[in-house]
Amino acid sequence: MRKLLAAAAVALAALSAPAFAEGPKVKLLDVKFSFEGPFGTYDYKAVQRGFQVYKEVCAACHSLSLVAYRNLRDIGLSEAAVKAIAAEVQIRDLNDAGEMAERPGRPADRFRAPFANEAAARAANNGAYPPDLSLMVKARLDGARYLYSLMLGYEDYAKLTDAQKKELKLAADFKLQPNMQFNKYFPGFQIAMVKPLNDGQIAYNEEATTAGIKNDLPQLAKDLTHFLAWASEPKMEERKRTGVKAVIFLLILSGLFYAVKRKVWADVH
């Protein structure tokens, strides 16, 4: 009976556990983010820089379908800035005559997808389908570190030494397929996406430069990851505050229950 109950418990745990996409087998880079831990919070300056990286680089291929332009107000952008960003894109919508037409974007619109449909996306990317990034940090085990490591994991396969190949445990018959890039943090080590970020690719504003923020690859990758972490869970800070309040409430309630129990059973020996 005990074995049966144990097996049932394991099965229930497996069914209730979150499902993640297969992660890389190489140890991820050691990087710290401000939003980690039970009391972690977003660095909204980093989120804003990350949005700039997404807008100028990633938005050309990757959609962000679960985020609306008005949500950018939550990261510290002004109402005027949000309206200007939304107005930069053209959205297909019904006009006053009931016909499909393009209009400037509005804050209430979701982020415009770079392609009309999956077929168009594959046609433009040698058959590969760029995934939506709205929940990418949540879709991967240790998603923030995975994305950061992925951005820094591109290498020239032809220049890998035998020692490096052995360390990665590459199969003897491993061969880089056409139109594929070598990335040691991607499952299978081959990824269709070309290296998206490079040193100095993004020009940060004067405020960031004055604060000593570099625009090298590690910083760009970290800022982008910060933005995508926010996009995946914009209410994270509220959730953590609620959790802390709930724990404090339960501790106080436990103390009251214990005090009542001592009072009720004080005369029983």
pLDDT digits (tens, 9 = 90+) for 97-148: 888 889 999 999 999 999 999 999 999 998 999 999 999 999 998 999 999 9
pLDDT at residue 8, rounded to an integer: 41
Superfamily of domain 19-67+115-240: Cytochrome c-like domain (1.10.760.10)
DSSP the chain: -HHHHHHHHHHHHHHHSPP-BPPPSSPPP----TT-STT----HHHHHHHHHHHHHTGGGT---TT-BGGGGGGGT--HHHHHHHHHTSEEEEE-TTS-EEEEE--TTSBPPPSSSSHHHHHHHTTT--PPP-TTHHHHBTTHHHHHHHHHH-B--GGG--HHHHHHTT--TT--PPTT-EEBTTSTTSEESS-----TT-S---HHHHHTT---SHHHHHHHHHHHHHHHH-TTHHHHHHHHHHHHHHHHHHHHHHHHHHHHHTTT--
- Produce one character per residue of 136-146: b if its CB has 16 or more CB atoms within 10 Å, e if not: bbebbeebbbb
Q: Where do we find the tokens 């020692």? A: 163
- pLDDT given at position 9: 41
Which residues are bridge partners to 93 per DSSP? Answer: 101
How far, in Å, CA of 61 to CA of 150, rounded?
Answer: 17
pLDDT in tens, 32-79: 999 999 999 999 999 999 999 999 999 999 999 999 999 999 999 999
pLDDT of residue 268: 79
Q: What is the reported pLDDT for 6?
A: 45
In whole numbers, what is the pLDDT of the chain averaged over residues? 90
pLDDT at residue 5, as a whole number: 40
Rounded CA gap, 254 and 160, in Å? Answer: 59
In this model, does residue 254 exceed pLDDT 80?
Answer: yes
Among 5-14, 106-115, 149-158, whose mean pLDDT is lowest? 5-14
The alpha-carbon radius of gyration of the chain (Å, integer) is 24
CA gap 242, 19 in Å, rounded: 25
* Lookup: tokens for 38: 């039970």
Answer whether 46's CB lies under 8 Å from 222's CB.
yes
pLDDT of residue 249: 96
- Give the number of other CB atoms < 10 A from CB of residue 35: 21
pLDDT (tens digit per residue) in 210-223 = 899 999 999 999 99
pTM reported for the whole predicted model = 0.85
